Amino acid sequence: MFATRNAIKVAARSFSTATPLRSKVAVLGAAGGIGQSLSLLLKANSRVTELGLYDIVNTPGVAADVGHVNTLSNVAGYTAKDQDGLKKTLEGAELVVIPAGVPRKPGMTRDDLFNTNAGIVRDLAQACADVCPQAKLLIISNPVNSTVPIATEVFKNAGVYDPKKIFGVTSLDLVRASRFIGDKLGKIVDVPVVGGHAGITIIPLFSQVEGLELTKEERDALTHRVQFGGDEVVKAKDGLGSATLSMAFAGARFADSLLRANAGEEVLEWSFVRNDLFKDEGLEYFSTYVKLDKDGVKEVLPLPESISEYEKELVKAAIPELLKTQKKGVSFVNGN
């Protein structure tokens, strides 16, 4: 049913050097907490031919470091001080991954980051629209529920919008869901997670996991844990930030899905993308099952009919929240 996911193998020996298509990937925010480890994982991915790293500071150091890893890709690092640095980072990019921005502190929601990160994403999206409008955008910067609409409006205004190419990265919710039921199930399997990427908009579909039997209490607890998994890490880091390492893993995994699709593989993923599943409610974005191909989104799939009543309620509750954050993002760009 689902395409089997292979965990990214970072040990040098497991690389196949016979992979066909190779691609340039740009990372915007490459010197940050997520960006650094993400850059390393992308450097280790044999499907990446070239890596462009951009941040406001420190990127040359990160590039020199990561550049010593003995895989085929070449790495270049630029900062705002470099003339045309952002342009050079983006030129020829197949994928642009955007972790740039500030992370949460304890007690903050992802929406609390809006004021700082909205402008960052808008400006970076503008550069992408100018330099590499054909590239797929993988947006990690929170709040994803708003930054995806922001990037979209920027692309629309620039006349280069392609709904198949802008993705809100929700992979970490998928990773957490798999992990949190791992002990119960005795193995790691894919768990579909749909909706959005904040609190109650995160909807794990445990009903779709074969062989998983949960009591009502377990289901509620696990759902809550997946929804607030990010808060768990923010709290544990006690002011020092939010998930960086697990986010880097999740981001690299989603980038790899796109690269594999680019190379002709049939890939099923879950991502926060433009679709009409809840058009009647006015919703333009919803994370759902997405088939990928070399152009990005090949097909958006509706939620399975077999989802539980509980999950249907979660979807209902998520919609007004998603509408709010969508409008906030759109208004930020268009001022209305």
Partner 1 sequence: MVSVAILGAAGGIGQPLSLLLKLNTNVTKLNLYDIVNVPGVAKDVSHVATNSEVTSYLGPAQLAAAVTDIDLAIIPAGVPRKPGMTRDDLFKINASIVKGLVEAIAENSPKAFIGIISNPVNSTVPIAAEVLKAKGVYDPKRLFGVTTLDVVRASRFVRDIRPEIDSAGLRVPVVGGHSGNTIVPLLSLASTKVDLSQKEVEELTHRIQFGGDEVVQAKDGAGSATLSMAYAGSRFADSIIRALNGETVVEPTFIPLEADAEGAKEIRALGAGDLEFFAVPVELGREGTKRIVPLGSVTEFESAAIKVAAEALASNIATGVNFVKSSSA
By the criterion CB under 8 A, which residues form the site for partner 1? Answer: 7-13, 15, 17, 36-37, 39-40, 43-44, 46, 58, 60-72, 172, 175-176, 178-179, 182, 187-188, 229, 232-233, 236-238, 240-241, 243-246, 248-249
Q: How far is the CB of 8 from partner 1 (least distance, A)?
A: 7
In DSSP terms, which residues pair with 75 in a beta bridge? 51
Q: How far is the CB of 75 from partner 1 (least distance, A)?
A: 11
Residue 197 is a catalytic residue: yes
Question: How many C-beta atoms surround the C-beta of residue 185 within 10 A?
Answer: 15
Do 192 and 208 form a contact (C-beta atoms < 8 A)? yes
Comparison of 40 and 125: residue with beta carbon closer to partner 1: 40
**DSSP result, 133-169:** TTSEEEE-SS-HHHHHHHHHHHHHHTT---TTSEEE-
Alpha-carbon gap, residue 9 to 31, rounded angstroms: 23
Q: How far is the CB of 225 from partner 1 (least distance, A)?
A: 10
Label residue 113 exposed, middle or buried (CB < 10 Å: 0-12, 13-18, 19+). buried
Comparison of 77 and 168: residue with beta carbon closer to partner 1: 77
Comparison of 15 and 310: residue with beta carbon closer to partner 1: 15
Alpha-carbon gap, residue 300 to 245, rounded angstroms: 29
Alpha-carbon gap, residue 251 to 45, rounded angstroms: 13
Q: Return the sign of the alpha-carbon dihedral for residues 205, 208, 210, 213.
A: positive
Whether the ω angle into residue 143 lies within 30 degrees of 0, i.e. cis, is yes
Q: How far is the CB of 99 from partner 1 (least distance, A)?
A: 14
Comparison of 240 and 317: residue with beta carbon closer to partner 1: 240
* Amino acid in position 118: A
Comparison of 269 and 284: residue with beta carbon closer to partner 1: 269
Of 176, 197, 260, 274, which is the active-site residue? 197
Q: How far is the CB of 79 from partner 1 (least distance, A)?
A: 11
| Active site positions, annotated | 197
